[in-house]
Amino acid sequence: MAPKLVSLTWDSTDPARLARFWAAALEWQISDDGATVLPTDGTTFTLSFSPTTQERVGHNRVHLDLSSTSVADQNAAVARFVDLGAREIDIGQGSDARHVVLADPDGNPFCVLEPGNSFVSRTSRFGSITCDGTREVGLFWSVALEWPLVWDQNEETAIKDPDGAGQLITWGGPPIPAKHGKNRLHLDLAPAPIGGQAAEVERLLSLGARRIDIGQGDVPWVVLADPDDNEFCVFPN
């Protein structure tokens, strides 16, 4: 059995504030500890917010693409996100872009996609986890999670969870932006009940991951890097 993608974790100098923003933006629930945001549809995937003293530097390799159902819905969503603390930013998308690029209160970019986007068409606002990454890393994650490829063209790849809400992860192909320390956002996995954490870590290493030390110290989870040098964690059972 494959591991389960359980969370997307954001490093933040003010995790409570960022959790409040994303809970309100997505209309998800915020946990009692104030550091986890949970969907209201019963799925187990979460957004988690972890404290850091490091300010955000450089380009994020991971961001969210949010969906919209109409031009009016897109405009209303952008206005609501700005009221919640986001701001519109220019990352070179051009004046003819139909999607809107915003930054959350920590400066992390995210997009509100245009209606009719055939690739990200979701009934909920949450569209996809969108990554800068090579075709190799897309293939790695397809095998690692046992999610099928739903796009594999021009070095761009995408995989989709065959179960649950059909979570989508995409990689845009090269060039890949340089890293400036640890990624601001990373994926967290839970091993399958059969085999456990140690067996899952060995399987991921055999697929091309590697162990890394980011100063995590003595923690119950294992920190690995994928073939593009992006950190991710494997939790204990």
Q: Write the pLDDT tens digit of every residue in 90-116.
A: 988 888 889 999 999 999 999 999 988
Low-confidence ranges of the chain (pLDDT < 70): 121-123, 164-165
CA dihedral for 12, 15, 20, 26, sign (positive or negative): positive
Between the alpha carbon of residue 11 and those of residues 22, 123, 185, the distances in Å are 14, 28, 6
The Cα 76–Cα 157 span in angstroms is 30
pTM listed for this prediction: 0.94
46-51 and 4-12 beta bridge pairing: parallel
CB 75 within 8 A of CB 82: no
Give the pLDDT confidence score for residue 199 in this predicted structure: 95
Give the pLDDT confidence score for residue 71 in this predicted structure: 94
Q: How many other CB atoms sit within 10 Å of the CB of residue 125?
A: 17
Question: Phi and psi for 23 in degrees, rounded to 5?
Answer: -65, -45
The Cα 23–Cα 150 span in angstroms is 28
CB 50 within 8 A of CB 10: yes
Give the pLDDT confidence score for residue 163 in this predicted structure: 81
Give the pLDDT confidence score for residue 141 in this predicted structure: 98
* Residue ranges of domains in the chain, CATH in brackets: 4-234 (3.10.180.10)
Give the pLDDT confidence score for residue 184 in this predicted structure: 96
